[in-house]
Amino acid sequence: MSLPAHPIVEATPEPELVTRARAGDREAFAALYHQHYRVVYGFLLVRTRNRHLAEDLTQEAFVRALRRIDGFTWQGVAFAGWLTTIAKNLWLDELGRGRTRWETPVGEFDDPRGPGSGTGGPVARELEAVEARETVRAALKTLNARQRHCVELRYLDELTPQETALVTGQTVGAVRTLTCRALLKLRWSIEAVSV
């Protein structure tokens, strides 16, 4: 879902928009909404896997941001990072309510046409999946905090390089460089474990 460009987004730097929004300028907050809606919505859509719920939570995230905009202070993190934190908290609240149910279709144990069927039984496939997750977790620990955050945003949260740059407050080039270096380091770590 994309929103039309807001007229003052291009003309006004983000820190100025935030300052104006903190002073009660609704037009400045509307510009911030237009600028960051896609990132917040995408973040929530990946987690909820439900377009309508993601839209509802996105709206609630911006309502909370509007209510708390006077408490926002620049701490080296882009405004999108603050919005994403609000969205994450809303998503966790939603999970806590138990209204969101995670379901994965599975075939019968002996059904060769079922999802994930192939060589080996379901138990062997599950053990391989657990082993793979543990290997990736261990490899992620070899990354520095910036690299790990970048990889998580790009591949776990499925953000684009542009969205990741917006959330982290870095340039798109810096995001691509961090991602490339992190992936190389991950590959080396995983290859070292599997040798």
Tokens standing for residue 35 = 């600028």
- Residue 169's pLDDT is what? 83
pTM of the model: 0.52
| Domain segments of the chain as ranges | 7-97, 122-190
CA 184, CA 188: separation in Å to the nearest integer? 6
* DSSP, residue by residue, 24-73: T-HHHHHHHHHHHHHHHHHHHHHHH--HHHHHHHHHHHHHHHHHHGGG--
Q: What percent of the chain has pLDDT over 70?
A: 72
Q: Determine contact, residues 129/142, Cβ cutoff 8 Å.
A: no
User: Which class is domain 7-97?
Assistant: mainly alpha
CA 8 – CA 31 distance, rounded (Å) = 6
Least trusted range by pLDDT, from 7-21, 31-45, 82-96, 169-183 = 7-21
Other C-beta atoms lying within 10 Å of the C-beta of residue 189: 18
User: Cα(168)–Cα(164) distance, rounded to whole angstroms?
Assistant: 6
Average pLDDT (33-56) is 89
Residue 105, pLDDT > 60, answer no
Which of the four CATH numbers 3.40.50.1370, 3.30.420.40, 3.30.70.1230, 1.10.10.10 does domain 122-190 have? 1.10.10.10
Checking if the pLDDT of 109 tops 60, the result is no
pLDDT at 136 (0 to 100)? 73
Q: How far, in Å, CA of 69 to CA of 39, rounded? A: 18
Mean pLDDT of 159-170: 84
Q: Are 163 and 38 in contact (CB under 8 A)?
A: yes
- Per-residue pLDDT of 1-39, as tens digits, reads 445 554 555 578 888 888 899 898 989 999 999 999 998
